[in-house]
């Protein structure tokens, strides 16, 4: 098995709904994301997957759908207020934790037909979550 990985970064806002810690307050992060792809064979160019393709498929989606957005739990009443104010909000079924965001990105990459192995998501330089299958 060969693996290749590419790193991405984006900025986002969020808060954890019905949570007692300080992350219940609306705040932001500069996330770092690593997407790892596995392939059993190399293509005719000797590549598991061209990094250019990974950037195009995943990087574009992150830029267009995640960067500078606010992530909220679908039941969070703040979502309605922000949507009415014209803010782009991304609703998740659960709280928008690093774990949930890693899985959201993993699921998107898998939906594009790529053999994603794992997604690492750094909420801060010291705290990161991984989703893998
Ligand atoms: Zn946070």
Number of domains in the chain: 1
Report the percent of the chain where pLDDT is more than 70.
100
**Residues near ion ligand 1 (Cβ under 5 Å):** 23
Place 56 in a pLDDT band, splitting at 50, 70 and 90.
very high
Count the neighbouring beta carbons within 10 Å of the beta carbon of residue 122.
Answer: 19
- Range 77-82 average pLDDT: 96
pLDDT at 19: 96
Count the neighbouring beta carbons within 10 Å of the beta carbon of residue 131.
Answer: 19
Per the prediction, the chain carries an average pLDDT of 96
pLDDT tens digits, one per residue of 89-117: 999 999 999 999 999 999 999 999 999 99
pLDDT at 47: 94
Catalytic residue among 56, 68, 87, 127: 68
Q: List the CATH number of the domain containing 52.
A: 3.30.479.10
How far apart (Å, rounded) are the C-alpha atoms in residues 92 and 88?
13
Place 45 in a pLDDT band, splitting at 50, 70 and 90.
very high
Q: Which two tokens stand for residue 89?
A: 């909000």
Q: Any catalytic annotation for residue 23? A: yes
Catalytic residue among 23, 32, 99, 128: 23
Q: Any catalytic annotation for residue 123? A: yes
How far apart (Å, rounded) are the C-alpha atoms in residues 96 and 76?
11
The domain of 46 spans 2-132
pLDDT at 43: 93
How far apart (Å, rounded) are the C-alpha atoms in residues 72 and 52?
31
């Amino acid at each position: 098995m060969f693996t290749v990985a590419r790193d991405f970064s984006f900025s986002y806002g969020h808060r954890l709904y019905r949570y007692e810690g300080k992350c219940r307050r609306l705040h932001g992060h500069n996330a770092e994301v690593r997407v790892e792809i596995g392939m059993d064979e190399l293509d005719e160019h000797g590549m598991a997957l061209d990094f250019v393709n990974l950037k195009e498929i995943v990087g574009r989606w992150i830029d267009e759908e995640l960067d500078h957005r606010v992530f909220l739990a679908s039941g969070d009443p703040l979502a309605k207020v922000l949507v009415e104010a014209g803010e782009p909000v991304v609703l998740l079924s659960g709280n928008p934790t690093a774990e949930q965001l890693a899985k959201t990105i993993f699921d998107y990459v898998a939906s594009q037909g790529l053999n994603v192995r794992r997604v690492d998501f750094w909420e801060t330089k010291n705290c990161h979550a991984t989703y893998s299958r």
